[in-house]
Amino acid sequence: WCAIFYINVPISILLLALGVSFLPSYHVKSLKTMFNIWSFLALSCFSVSSIVLLSKGEKWGWFSNTKSIYFLSISVLSFLIFLLLETTSDHKLVGIEIFKNLEFTLAVSVFVLVQGLTFFQTVYTIPIYFERIRDLSTFQTGLHIFPYAIGIGIFSLIGGKLADKMNPTILIFSSEAILMITLFFFLSNIDYYTPKHDITLYMLLVGIGMGLFFAPILKIAFNSVKPELMGLSTAIYGYMRLIGASLGTSIATNIITSYSAKNFDYINDSRTFNNVGFRLFEEKFDSKILAKAILYKFQMLISEAYGVTEVFRFSFYAVSFSVIITIILFFYIESRKSKNI
């Protein structure tokens, strides 16, 4: 397990060396300001308590448990204190004025919806489906997900090239269209019996959509920021990425758990152990208890498969909402261009 994290060390060292060697030096004159330790502590308390709540909330039973309420209270209170300090202090940690840049704010919002509630939910949910429901090994699961990574890698390069030659919002629309079609017509309809290779193809389509997404959204977000605010905008971008990932995996876990239980109860209510099919099943195993145990396990797998499809359905809604924001972003950029002419 530790090797999962250690393997990133040599890769990070290599990337650092490449960055120092090939990236141009970039210096921006900036005024020296004091570090606002109180804003930093408030933001840290908000971040830590929110991530703990999102990661442990399902295990604790969400707001039926005092721990969840405790961490929610800390999160809300810390965030309010942070906003108060940022609006009243002369030495701001972040400077919420950056969010007055509507182009940057809309781009970050689209990024959180697509990456946090689609990308991370998909990466989190598919291994659960293959390993827990379809009983594949970790290696076999990796092989089925590998084309997804290939799609992202190849089309990230293509998206980067196209983003410099055409309107980046058109690329974002194309990415969202691919994701919506794949999520609604394919991934939202998988079940226990869906061929594994079909799901691999669906994941390849998701990878293509995500690959086309990254470059244009980054270009829109950072091209609208002043050079002296580039470091701050990059930090905000990374921070929102972390929050989006935590939110996406938390929602996915909650959906799988709740809908699996709901569908299990529905199947249980509609099934009877006194029908002819069960009696034949019982005779085959020569044990009523064993027959019930096997059917119970199969019922659990079917229910979890339905839970997985609900995650993809939620991801579809998230992408659909991101399309609305992208439309607003498109017209805002076009209006700014017309004013500058």
Whether residues 290 and 307 share a domain: the answer is: yes
Predicted local distance difference test score (pLDDT) of residue 116: 84
197 and 320 share a domain? yes
Number of domains in the chain: 2
The span from the CA of 92 to the CA of 247, in Å, is 27
Instruction: Answer whether residue 295 is part of any domain.
Output: yes
In sequence order, which residues have a C-beta less than 8 Å from that of residue 146 and are 6 or more positions away?
none
Query: Looking at the structure, do residues 57 and 179 belong to the same domain, yes or no?
Result: no
CATH code for the domain of 117: 1.20.1250.20
- Assess whether 89 and 106 both reside in one domain: no
Predicted confidence at residue 277, as pLDDT, reads 55
* Band of residue 281 on the pLDDT scale cut at 50, 70, 90: low
Q: Are residues 80 and 103 in the same domain?
A: no
Q: Which of 94, 115, 143 is the last residue of a domain?
A: 94
Q: How far apart are CA 155 and CA 175, in angstroms?
A: 10
Whether 188 and 83 share a structural domain: no
3-state secondary structure of 323: helix
Looking at the structure, do residues 78 and 191 belong to the same domain, yes or no? no
pLDDT for 30 equals: 57
Are the beta carbons of 295 and 281 closer than 8 angstroms? yes
What are the pLDDT digits (tens) for 199-240?
Answer: 999 999 999 999 999 999 999 998 888 877 887 888 888 888
Q: Which of 48, 77, 94 is the last residue of a domain?
A: 94
Residue-number span of the structural domain to which 328 is assigned: 98-340
> Residue 1: inside a domain, yes or no?
no
CA dist 260 and 266 (Å) reads: 10
pLDDT of residue 279: 64
- If one counts every other C-beta atom within 10 angstroms of the C-beta of residue 49, the result is 20
Same domain as 240, residue 296: yes
Instruction: Report the chain's terminal Cα–Cα distance, integer Å.
Output: 57
pLDDT above 60: residue 67: yes
CA distance 225 to 95: 13
Residue at 259 is within a domain = yes
Torsion of CA 216, 311, 129, 197, to 10 degrees: -50
Look at the chain and count its residues.
341
Query: Is the predicted pLDDT of residue 317 greater than 60, yes or no?
Result: yes
Specify whether 222 is located in the same domain as 329.
yes
Q: Of 94, 119, 146, which closes a domain?
A: 94
Residue recorded with tokens 């942070």: 82
Q: Of 47-56, 80-89, 190-199, where does the model show the most confidence?
A: 190-199
Q: 139 in a domain, yes or no?
A: yes
Angle of helix 230-270 relative to helix 102-111, nearest 10 degrees? Answer: 40
DSSP 8-state symbol, 286: T
* 155 in the same domain as 262: yes
Distance, in Å, from the CA atom of 213 to the CA atom of 175, rounded to the nearest integer, reads 6
Is residue 38 domain-shared with residue 160, that is, in the same domain?
Answer: no
What single DSSP character describes residue 129?
Answer: I
Tell me whether residue 14 is in a domain: no
- CA neighbours within 13 Å on the CB side: how many for 176? 24
Whether residue 131 is contained in a domain is answered as yes
Give domain status of residue 153, yes or no.
yes
Residues 175, 86 share a domain: no
Token pair 């905000």 is found at 236
**Which tokens sit at 236?**
């905000």
Q: Has residue 5 been placed in a domain?
A: no
Predicted pLDDT of residue 273? 47
